[in-house]
Amino acid sequence: MDAAGAPHPAPDRRGRALVAVVALVAVVAATLVAFSLGRLTATVDAPPSGTSAEAGFARDMQVHHDQGVEMAFIVRDRTDDEAVRLLAYDIARTQSQQSGQMYGWLAEWGLPQAGSEPPMTWMAEGGHEHGGTPASPGGALMPGMATPAELEELRNASGIDAERLFLELMIAHHRGALEMAEAYLDIGDRPTVTAFARAVVTSQLAEIALMEDMLAERG
């Protein structure tokens, strides 16, 4: 039951779908770890440049994932719905792990965590347009990012209202991550990053489908 006293939808089908998505994300995460460990034992390629698609993708996706973690922690404290809380926990755990992995790439490549070019510049190499909200003082755009006003609205919401807003924002956020991952797959060819981007596409498509169902249940 939400804060306003309205009952939540029956959890059976939603719970099964959520467990399936969590399992899929766990498999994807395990695959990424195994692939990365295998790459460490192989011959190391020359590191990419600081203005490469690999560097830009790693920097920008870190920022993107970090906001996803932030939104997940916000809604965790704004609802008592177990399905939403489990989804939020899984998003926070997975995206914080992936953010750390991308941080590690940049460190291994000997590149700074912040680049000299505006965010999303690397996407232009493949002719990709992107839309979103300002991600830097320079006004560069990051697809799917929530605005400060939207984050504040989420902080001030509770119960089913917070759940709806979180799902709406996170669906848009995941679609933005898909746009970034697909852009890298169009222009990048580094095996480790390519495997990572493909895993992002697989896991976030599954989560988008789940969140759309959860949102529909809430009217």
DSSP states of 64-126: HHHHHHHHHHHHHTT---HHHHHHHHHHHHHHHHHHHHHHHHHHHTT--SS-SSPTTGGGGGG
Closest by CA to 79, choosing from 65, 92, 89, is 89
What are the distances in angstroms from CA 11 to CA 30, 82, 85, 115?
A: 28, 9, 13, 45
Percent helix, strand and coil across the chain, each to the nearest 5:
70, 0, 30
Contact 152, 168 (CB under 8 A): no
Domains and CATH numbers, the chain: 12-42+50-217 (1.20.1260.10)
Q: Reply yes or no on whether the pLDDT at 104 is more than 50.
A: yes
Instruction: Categorize the per-residue pLDDT at 192 as very low, low, confident or very high, splitting at 50, 70 and 90.
Output: very high
Q: What pLDDT shows up at residue 22?
A: 54
Q: Look up the pTM and report it.
A: 0.77
- The CA-to-CA distance between both ends of the chain, in Å, stands at 15
State mean pLDDT over 154-179: 96
Average pLDDT, the chain: 82
Torsion angle (degrees, nearest 10) of CA 156, 14, 197, 32: 110
